[in-house]
Structure 1
């Protein structure tokens, strides 16, 4: 059997296995396994195309291979960073690649109390304040993420820019897509949001405790 027949049989076998991988990708419900099988299919089809001189197929999968590798890297990095955020300082740095920049002028209101909530924001620079509570949010803070979990999806406060700055915004739809694509990401996002909610409750309890502190005796005597 000459080399041409060997190449032909190898190409047929390779195409069969590549077809199996392609079909497998269609059955995947989550993004990471889909990308892994996509990469395997790309590599196999490139290998099959070389001895059979199928250059169009080789060129196509040579383009798709780095794209699949990059998307897989992004998703794995996303999962790692979310885990780190949950166990660490609750940073939202992992979400930046999926967010859109928005410049805000002093006096501009990003959203109003009782309006429908559709986005959450990451503060990059400037100064922002929640009007009703008077709380000023620092650079690096995330705001608006709990509206996604609210049954009514409405804002509980107004967010105002008090000094020009930049925020990064992401829609709830994008977050939901990430959740569907990768349930592990969704699980850690829910843990992250829950941790933030408990932080808010602890802050409120601390303020209530301070408000009910007894007046020191020295202060009473000084004012008598």
Structure 2
């Protein structure tokens, strides 16, 4: 048996092993790694047999799998960095859709079903019931994903025309399922932001209560 036939049989054997292995994978990162290994083996074994179409197809797949693996690893690093620093959610930007808003437009109402979270790029936006104005760079609606009822707790109104980015809970859940590490850090981030919001609310309540306690008692 010549070298080309040996290479062909070896390639078929290794490819079959990798295909079976990928079928057992439940998360995206190991799946991409095994996909890359399969691409490399099939490229290496198709060249001695002059099977150039196969080599070309798997060269393209190798680039695609490598890019997707890099993207997922970068996502996990960004979320981990965010948890340990400023609690920003800018790492979600590549998965978000841009939307322009006009002054007076209501983005969502209190008690309606929550299906997406929003990132404020420009303009001014206000939570109507609490009167809180959200700054540029703020994320709103991320905790609705973790709420059992999945409903909005306040109404969000655009005060001054601007741009927002939106991402559906379905997309975030997809990223969560594909990569447990992402899911773990996302939960940590959401919990940290929840405690941050509670701390801000307690601080505001204390500031409101201070003038009342400092007022002199009537004679």
Q: Tell me which interval the TM-score lies in, with the shorter structure as reference length.
A: over 0.9
Shift of 1:212: 2.4
- What is aligned with 2:102? 105
Q: Secondary structure at the match of 1:41?
A: helix
Output the CA distance in 2 between the equivalents of 1:20 and 1:90. Answer: 42
Match of 2:132 among 124, 131, 135: 135
Q: Secondary structure at the match of 1:52?
A: coil
Q: Any idea what the Cα deviations from partners look like across 1:128-171, whole Å, max 9, x if unmatched?
A: 11111111111111000000011110000011111111111000
TM-score (norm 1): 0.93
- What is aligned with 1:92? 89
Q: Secondary structure at the match of 1:213?
A: helix
Match of 1:184 among 177, 181, 184: 181
Unpaired stretches in structure 1, ≥5 consecutive residues: none
Closer, same or farther: CA 216–173 of 1 in aligned 2, 3 Å: closer
2:38 equivalent to 1:41: yes
Match of 2:27 among 22, 26, 30: 30
CA RMSD of aligned residues (A): 1.7
Unpaired stretches in structure 2, ≥5 consecutive residues: none
- What is aligned with 1:51? 48
Output the CA distance in 2 between the equivalents of 1:149 and 1:194. Answer: 10
Match of 1:166 among 149, 156, 163: 163
- What is aligned with 2:76? 79
Output the CA distance in 2 between the equivalents of 1:83 and 1:162. Answer: 33
Q: Secondary structure at the match of 1:122?
A: strand
Closer, same or farther: CA 133–216 of 1 in aligned 2, 3 Å: closer
Output the CA distance in 2 between the equivalents of 1:41 and 1:185. Answer: 25
Output the CA distance in 2 between the equivalents of 1:183 and 1:104. Answer: 34
My pick for the range that moved more, 204-213 or 172-181, is 204-213
Count of matched residue pairs: 219
Output the CA distance in 2 between the equivalents of 1:61 and 1:23. Answer: 18
Q: Any idea what the Cα deviations from partners look like across 1:91-145, whole Å, max 9, x if unmatched?
A: 1111111111111111111110000000000111111111111111111110000
